[in-house]
Structure 1
């Protein structure tokens, strides 16, 4: 019994709050908040890209099934005709 009471007193002595000789100024606090905000923003961005990936892939498949290559830039008609072989060339 005596050991039990001693253990309880020891645990209570450890849990008594003491004064902390530390000061976090506004600069360090704002720096910490900025770092946490950047971490949250990075995680949210990564999560949104992971969630959006299947939808983007489905849209890309849908565009390619229509015959349009999604990686192709919208070039002027002269360049497109040049790549595909223009009907203006002799012999065509």
Structure 2
């Protein structure tokens, strides 16, 4: 038995995964395409005010890009756990009220 709702969601997920790969068919051709907002902000400041001097420095800079990426993933996981807990708490509260 085919569940059309699940099949439709699966198609939507596949489109969301494949569409960016089809739209941008190449990696590394344009260095700024996958750049972050920090890089874009820094470039915009340099263009608008070339004499700007940075007045704040990071407390600690990770020794490599892999460690920086790991810390970002850990931060994302902690945030996802918190959001999941809140949604689960709300869902459990509504379920308890119904019973």
Q: TM-score, normalised by structure 1?
A: 0.38
Q: TM-score, normalised by structure 2?
A: 0.36
Bigger RCO (CA 8 Å, 6+ sep) = 1
